[in-house]
A and B are shown apart, each in its own frame.
Chain A
Amino acid sequence: MTNALEVSDLHVTLAGSHVLQGISLNVPVGGVTALLGRNGVGKTTTLRALLGLVASTGAISVLGTDVRGWATHRIVRLGVGYVPEDRDVFAGLTVAENLRLAERIEAPRYDDVYAIFPELRERSGQRAGTMSGGQQQMVSIARALLNGWPLLLIDEPSKGLAPRLVGELADALARVATLATVLLVEQNLALVRRLAQRIIVLDHGEVVHTGDAQELDDPDLAKRFLGVSGVK
């Protein structure tokens, strides 16, 4: 298996609008691949379709297995951790309960989790809904890490975080990336440049560019596809 993810001709229609219009992409094993694009081009929808959370047509292979038509929990159990866009921690559950729900293997890797997020150990009795956004993000990432799974889908982890926290997050994600293959959706291009080796750019529900993360240094590319005027 050379690709952790293989997608071809993926279509999704949501409430009558054709959101994904034939996405094809590969994510090689190892390292970080960034999925980029303007707001509303379908990045989150792509991740949700990979996990079977929205109905789609087309071929999806996850960790070498064809998962067309599979229920979400079966796809996840192939070894996929998911960190959703808005964290989606269970607000009424404690941190410990949130993590406990994520345990899918005999010996969950609490050591890995606490090594990256020591704060979670102290807060294990706190209700997740009462935590700050950054702390909730830790819980969300921890849930995905707990089983030592080979593939992580991480959706805009820096969304809504203060700049200083983004730095800490980047450190944490760098350590996460040594443990698994990561498909990262992210708007913060500095963060992408620091973490990612490869980029995939979406526009209007289609893949419009695939390449090396270095290319982000080219202001023209950033401007054309991402609607930003280059990266400092």
Chain B
Amino acid sequence: MNVFLALTFSGIALGAIYFLAASGLSLIYGLMDILNFAHGLFMTLGAYVAWDVASHLPTSWGAPLLFSIAVVASIIGGALAAGLTEVLLIRPLYGRPVSQILVTIGLDLAVVGLLLGGFGSNSLSIPVPLWLIEASRVGGLDLPNSNFVALVAGVVILVALELFLHRTRYGITIRAGVENRDMVSALGINVGRAFTLVFVIGGAMAGLAGLLYAVVFSGDLISPTQGDSLLIFAFIVVVIGGLGSIRGSAVAALVVGLVQDYTNFYLGSHSGMAEIGNLSVVLLLALVLEWRPRGLFGSTL
């Protein structure tokens, strides 16, 4: 039973990170019909920027402060990378949906290649406070503190995103644009600005996801291809949740995180298949599509 609870907890933490990655992807798709392959790159860049900033600051500042700065840096790094991508590469291709997808694929290949050239395929280590590596005893269970951080980040971002989408003018514009872009511009609104904005928001969340994944599930290590492997699961979460739906992403992220965690533990040890968790997630996707081709939450925000 304790094992089950601990698994559930780490599955939820994994789901929280998937949510950070997938919600931006889903917004970008919902508003712009773009399958953004560079989203994995934004995650990777977030982690690298965080690493770069943290490793250039004096260690005397102490790990907690350095790590907080790294978190902020990952968010800014991801947002900046995404904003530039939208303005420089996506914008010239408005009206050419397939080309937009292709350009994000090319960007991902090129920049990951550059990172591989610059840093090699070896992993770099992010400095984290000792507290983050430890576990806390809650109700007789030793739960990793890093999992709490992921969980808190996921919940905070979910709430912030919901407030933004429902309470602010830009948020309302984005929700309207997901339904009908043409009509938004026919009301005299420059939809292009909303496009840039969702990229920036999505990139910020992706950057954070990249850093948190490294800290929570990858032993504080980052590598150039990490984001790309996370991206596959983010895609799956988006399709299961329903393209363009934030709540769908949240639910699907939890489901995928839990299924992956449970199957890895319970089936992995019996079948001897290390990848059974990943496989089960794809199977889940196929089942959901058979049952509900539009995903769990259709296509509204």
Contact = CB atoms under 8 A, between A and B. Distances in A.
Chains A and B touch each other in the complex, with CB atoms below 8 Å apart:
yes
A90 B183 contact: yes
A209 interface: no
Given A92-B175, A93-B176, A101 B189 contact: yes
Contacts of B188: 73, 76-77, 102, 104, 147
Nearest to A98: B176
Contacts of B175: 90, 92-93
Contacts of A101: 169, 172-173, 176, 184, 187, 189
A143 B183 CA distance: 11
Max count, chain B CB within 10 A of own CB: residue among A71, A73, A82, A98: A73
A93 B187 CA distance: 15
B186 A51 contact: yes
Contacts of B179: 90-93
Interface residues of B, number: 20
Interface in B167-210: 169, 172-173, 175-176, 179-180, 182-192
A12 to B, nearest CB: 15
Contacts, number: 61
Contacts of B184: 101
Interface size class for chain A?
Answer: 20 to 34
B300 interface: yes
A84 B180 CA distance: 12
A73 B172 contact: no
B66 interface: no
A31 B172 CA distance: 34
Contacts of A84: 183, 186
A76 B186 contact: yes
A218 interface: no
Given A72-B185, A84-B183, 12 more contacts: A71-B190, A72-B182, A84-B186, A88-B182, A88-B183, A90-B179, A91-B300, A93-B175, A93-B176, A101-B176, A101-B187, A143-B187
